[in-house]
Structure 1
Amino acid sequence: MSPEYPESLLRVLVVEDESFVRMVAVAMLEEVGLAVAEAPDAEAALTLLQASPDAFGVLFTDIDMPGAMNGLALAEEVHQRWPHIRLVVTSGRVLPRESDIPDAGRFLRKPYHRGALLAALDQAA
């Protein structure tokens, strides 16, 4: 357990279709003591969330993903069903408007570094 982060942030769900990018994000978060689960798309993420909705404090999702639901739609679904989960979305292609991100979620432009990722997690409400 990391002394730097509140209990609510200690479990992050990383949703990223590119396995190398997902692996790097997971490593960045684990290096600071956060527990991380990962999913390659929105459908897999929803399956994890439905199984353990109280297990996660943060959703960190790419916007541009294959499948029926992109990252913004996933963030909206998570906000509606599990409003306690903080939202951080990322993309190297899409630049969403602030109003596109539900709640007080944050956008993080790719490529990002660990400091920017951790700041986005801290700032998401």
Structure 2
Amino acid sequence: MPFTDVDMPGDVDGLELAALVKSAWPPIDIIVTSGHRDARPEKLPPDGLYVGKPYSPAVVAELIRKLHADAAS
């Protein structure tokens, strides 16, 4: 399961990376994070999730469980 930050070095930011991954592999769900900007739902790929920084490992684990449960149903 990909997990990316919005702010990354280089020409592609995390939102663009998430969109590229989702377009190449539609079943892959992605978690996006940032400590500097909020990702509006319309900026995320379908079924993508956003978690703001700082976050706890428990929050990320719950998001992963949710994505796995959604994929299994």
TM-score range, shorter chain: 0.7 to 0.9
Query: How many equivalent residue pairs?
Result: 68
Q: Which runs of 5+ in 1 are unaligned?
A: 1-57
- Give the TM-score taking structure 2 as reference length: 0.86
Rg comparison, structure with higher value? 1
Name the SS of the counterpart of 1:86 in structure 2. coil
Percentage of identical aligned residues: 37
- AA aligned opposite 2:19: E
Structure 1 Cα separation of the partners of residues 12 and 24 of structure 2: 15
Partner residue in 1 for 2:56 = 113
**Are residues 1:84 and 2:17 paired?**
no
More strand by share: 1
Q: Which runs of 5+ in 2 are unaligned?
A: none
Partner residue in 2 for 1:34 = none
Structure 2 Cα separation of the partners of residues 99 and 122 of structure 1: 22
CA contact (8 A) 1:107 1:120 kept: no
Matches within 5 A, 1:9-20: none
CA contact (8 A) 1:64 1:71 kept: yes
CA contact (8 A) 1:106 1:123 kept: no
Displaced runs of 4 or more, over 6 A: none
Partner residue in 2 for 1:10 = none
**Are residues 1:73 and 2:16 paired?**
yes
